[in-house]
A and B are shown apart, each in its own frame.
Chain A
Amino acid sequence: MRWLAEVHVALRPGIADPEGQTIGTALRSLGYETVSEVRSGKLMSISFDADDESAAEAAIGEMCRRLLANPVMDTATWELRAEQTDADKAITA
Chain B
Amino acid sequence: MLARRPRVVVVVFPGTWSERDFAHVAENVLGWECRTLWHLEAELGACDAVVLPGGFAHGDHLRTGAIARFSPIMRAVEAFAAAGGPVIGSCNGFQVLTEAGLLPGALMRNDHLQFRCDWQSLRVERPERAPAWLGDLANGDVIRLPISHGEGRYIADAATLDGLEREGRVVLRYANVAGEVTDEANPNGSQRSIAGLVNERGNVLGLMPHPERAAEAELGGTDGLRLFRSLERWLQEQPAATERRL
Interface residues of A (CB under 8 A from B): 15-16, 18-19, 22, 42, 67-68, 70, 72-73
Residues of A near B110 (CB, < 8 A) are 18
- Identify 15 residue pairs between A and B in the complex whose beta-carbon atoms are under 8 Å apart, listed by A's number: A16-B108, A16-B111, A16-B153, A16-B155, A18-B112, A18-B113, A18-B189, A19-B109, A42-B62, A67-B62, A67-B70, A70-B66, A72-B106, A72-B157, A73-B108
Task: Tell me the smallest distance from the CB of B100 to a CB of chain A, in Å.
Answer: 11
Whether A19 touches B106, Cβ cut-off 8 Å, given contacts A67-B62, A72-B155, is no
Whether A67 touches B66, Cβ cut-off 8 Å, given contacts A72-B105, A72-B156, A73-B106, is yes
Per a CB cutoff under 8 Å, which of A15, A19, A72, A73 touches B113? A19
Q: Considering the chains assembled together, what is the distance between the CA atoms of A72 and B108 in angstroms? A: 11
Q: Considering the chains assembled together, what is the distance between the CA atoms of A11 and B185 in angstroms? A: 26
Q: Is B109 a contact partner of A18 (Cβ separation < 8 A)?
A: yes
Known: A68-B62, A70-B99. 13 other contacts (CB 8 A): A15-B155, A16-B155, A18-B110, A18-B112, A18-B113, A19-B109, A19-B113, A42-B62, A70-B63, A72-B98, A72-B105, A72-B106, A73-B155
Q: Is A18 a contact partner of B155 (Cβ separation < 8 A)?
A: no
Which residues, 203 to 218 on B, are CB-close (under 8 Å) to A? none
Residues of A near B62 (CB, < 8 A) are 42, 67-68
Q: Is A70 a contact partner of B106 (Cβ separation < 8 A)?
A: yes
Residues of B near A15 (CB, < 8 A) are 108, 155
Task: Tell me the smallest distance from the CB of B180 to a CB of chain A, in Å.
Answer: 23
Task: Tell me the smallest distance from the CB of A9 to a CB of chain B, in Å.
Answer: 9
| Interface-central residue, A15, A19, A68, A73, by most chain B CB under 10 Å | A73
Residues of B near A22 (CB, < 8 A) are 113
Q: Considering the chains assembled together, what is the distance between the CA atoms of A67 and B69 in angstroms? A: 10
